Structure formats: C-alpha cells, structure tokens
Structure 1
Amino acid sequence: MSTITEQTMTAEEFFQWVQLPANRGRRFELVHGEVVEMPPAGKYHGFVCGNVARILGNFAAAQSVGYVCTNDAGVIVGRDPDSVRGPDVTYYIDDETADNMQRKYAQRPPVLAVEVVSPTDRINDIMLRVTQLLAQGVAAVWVVDPEARDISICRAGKEPQLVQADEHIAGGTELPEFRCAVAEFFATPAGT
C-alpha cells in the first residue's frame, strides 16, 4: 500500500477522484484524508470473498432480511479528516431499496463487515480497519483468514472470538438465524 496524493481529501472529493478514467480498475481507500492504493489481492482472495458474499446473500434472500454489498463498496468510517474503508463484504439491514440506495459511500454503517485477509495485508492495517469500522457503529467485523481457514469475530469492547475451519459460525445478535460451517467459506462447489 502506498500513499498516492499529497493533499488531503474529503470522502466526497475522494469519490469523484476514484471515478477519473486514470483510476479505473485500481483499488483505493481514504485514510485520514490521504489516498492509499491497495494492490490486487489475487484469485484465491477473490474466491473466498465470492463465497462469503454468496453465503451471506443466500441467507439474506432466504430470510428476506437485509442485503449484501461487495467489491469494496466504501463505508465512511471517519470525518475531519475523512476515512473511507472498503470492506470486502458488508451486510446491511435498513430501509434502503435499490431505487433509493446511497449511490456514493455508505453514511450509515452495515450491521456486519467482512475483511478477507489478503497476501499483502499487515496485521496492524487489518486491526486499524476493524477498529475504525467498530468505532463507526458496525456491530461485528469478521476477519476471514484464507490461509489459516479460520474467522475472527470482532465486536466493540469484546475480545475477538476465533472460529476454526471445523466449527460453525453463528450470526450472533446481528444475524440471529445465521449459522454456517466455516469450511464452506473456503470450499469450491464440489466441496473441496
């Protein structure tokens, strides 16, 4: 990750800046007003993100509660200076529909944010993201580790809970009906 701009930006200026043709196909976050470029994470990371989104999306459809956003959709986690994080997957339970959904970055926090650890992530960067998301009102953050094949569930004011690949993850108070084998997040449709 490297800082790109010399001047600080607001979340609104950042949104316009990332839309420029020169920035298409690149990933950025805004950290305390500074633009930071995020390197591509790789195929396996994308595969795990896809599984997380599919599993949570299927749950939302089956329960008719909430919806899922992917592709680093952008959540404002700080103001003055502004910070915009792009969790890999977010789960919202609110009154927005496709017609009235925020077209820029989310002002209100999701109930759940999922960070899938990429090969270039550093633990300090991950913990800063988690801390910022929780401080902004995200109820839970799952940190999914594709290499260890486990998930850390983080909630404000509580110690992270580690759930191993041979266990089930539950949605807690955020998604009370959700339950899934952790191994499913790391498996192909054939089950391997």
Structure 2
Amino acid sequence: MSNTTTKRLTSADLFALPPSKKVDRWLFQGELRESKVTKRNPNHAAAVMTIGVLLGIWLAKQPKPRGKLYGGEAYFRIRQDPETNVGIDVALATPEQAAAVKKKSTFVDGAPLLAVEVLSPNDKHQDIVNSIEEYLDCGVKQVWIVDTTTEAVTVHRANAEPVMYTRSQELPGGADLPGFVCQVAEIFE
C-alpha cells in the first residue's frame, strides 16, 4: 500500500497553466478542478447582465467608499489555505478588495460580499451544493443561485435556511445590501 500525497496547488500554479478553450479551471481547496467550457445561452447571458445592471444602479447610490462589481467569471481567491480560486458570474467586492486590485492582478483576494451564480445546462447539482458551502464557509455573506428555467432566485446565507424568490416576488438585499430590492421578474425580462 503506497502513501501518495497530492500537491496542493496555488493561484500562481493555476494561472501558470497554458490557456485552454476546451476547459474551465479553478482551484477547490487546493485541488485543480476542470470542466468542459460551459456553453452559455442567451437567457444565462441576459440574466448575468441584468443582475449586473440592477446591482450597479444600487451601488452607484451607496456612499463612498463603495465596493465594486465584477462579472464574466471574475476570479476570486476566496480561501488561502488551501487555496480556493473560483470564477463568479457576478460578484460584489468590498471597497478594500477593490482598492487592492492592480492592473496586473489575476484575481480579487478574499470572499466577496455577494456571489451570484446563474445556472447553466451542464451544472451538476452536487457541484452547486459544494460551491455554495465553500462560498459561505469562506465568508461570502450572500450567494444567489439564479435559475433561468424556473425563473427563481435562491438566496443562501450562513447559518440560515435558503430562501427562494419567484417571479412574482421582490428580491431584497437585506442587511448586506442595504436598500437593494428588485422584482425577480426584472431579472428574466
């Protein structure tokens, strides 16, 4: 019986890999994860953009210093030991995180206040569950899982039951996003 130890990778290791148009890569607790590149459909892309616009309007009204929105699978290193480095559809970084991003940065360091994931056809249920748990364990205040098929948004917070908001309801930002509210239907129009 051999005792094999797998080397934990770092963000530097991840970004040193040659680019690939065939797989998405990320680190999950120091382990390299890969999946076939997700083919995003128009409903996915529209939901990502609409959420970004709605959050952007809200963010512009917040007092300075304010956080910063990132989209398009922006990489965040949400855990340092072992490293977890994930691409997030839409994320709201703290003012401190945004200020630390330099022109040559390859990721935002730390857990964002909000992580929004819009489900894709190839997403696997267990992968989504693992991601939600990792986000919350690393300090993300809210995780929104957006389902364009059912037109619902499920909000996850640490130490709380998930809450699903449907097309006919308002999606509140709560204490983490004070004053934010939108009609769920707006996301899918």
Bin of the TM-score, shorter chain as denominator length: 0.7 to 0.9
The equivalent of 1:23 in structure 2 is 20
Per mean C-alpha deviation after superposition, the further-off stretch among 163-172 and 73-82 is 73-82
The equivalent of 1:52 in structure 2 is 51
Does residue 101 (structure 1) correspond to residue 101 (structure 2)? The answer is yes
In 2, distance between residues paired with 1:82 and 1:28?
A: 13
Q: Is the 8 A contact 1:149 1:186 kept in 2?
A: yes
Q: Is the 8 A contact 1:29 1:37 kept in 2?
A: no
Q: Is the 8 A contact 2:173 2:181 kept in 1?
A: yes
The equivalent of 1:3 in structure 2 is none
The equivalent of 2:67 in structure 1 is 66
Q: Is the 8 A contact 2:93 2:113 kept in 1?
A: yes
In 1, distance between residues paired with 2:162 and 2:133?
A: 12
The equivalent of 2:13 in structure 1 is 13
1:7 Cα deviation after fit? 6.8
Q: Is the 8 A contact 1:163 1:182 kept in 2?
A: yes
In 2, distance between residues paired with 1:185 and 1:42?
A: 16
* TM-score scaled by length of structure 2: 0.84
1:74 Cα deviation after fit? 1.3
1:156 Cα deviation after fit? 0.7
Structure 1 pair 47–26 and aligned structure 2 pair: CA distance change class (3 A): farther
Structure 1 pair 75–48 and aligned structure 2 pair: CA distance change class (3 A): same
How many equivalent residue pairs? 178
Taking only the aligned residue pairs, the percentage that are identical comes to: 27
In 2, distance between residues paired with 1:145 and 1:53?
A: 16
Amino acid at match of 1:182: V
Amino acid at match of 2:73: D
In 2, distance between residues paired with 1:34 and 1:26?
A: 12
Please give the secondary structure, in 1, of the residue aligned with 2:95: coil
Q: Is the 8 A contact 1:7 1:34 kept in 2?
A: no
In 1, distance between residues paired with 2:54 and 2:22?
A: 26
The equivalent of 1:179 in structure 2 is 181
The equivalent of 2:40 in structure 1 is 42
Unaligned runs of 5+ in 2: 1-5
**What is the correspondence of 1:107-122 to structure 2 with a 5 Å cutoff?**
107-122=109-124
Per mean C-alpha deviation after superposition, the further-off stretch among 40-49 and 173-182 is 40-49
Looking at secondary structure, tell me which structure has more strand per residue.
2
In 2, distance between residues paired with 1:16 and 1:93?
A: 27
1:37 Cα deviation after fit? 2.8
Structure 1 pair 155–14 and aligned structure 2 pair: CA distance change class (3 A): same
1:62 Cα deviation after fit? 2.8
In 1, distance between residues paired with 2:98 and 2:149?
A: 36
1:9 Cα deviation after fit? 2.3
Does residue 140 (structure 1) correspond to residue 152 (structure 2)? The answer is no
Structure 1 pair 97–107 and aligned structure 2 pair: CA distance change class (3 A): closer
Give the aligned CA root-mean-square deviation in angstroms. 2.2
The equivalent of 1:158 in structure 2 is 160
Q: Is the 8 A contact 2:79 2:110 kept in 1?
A: no
Per mean C-alpha deviation after superposition, the further-off stretch among 7-16 and 164-173 is 7-16
In 1, distance between residues paired with 2:82 and 2:97?
A: 27
Q: Is the 8 A contact 1:117 1:143 kept in 2?
A: yes
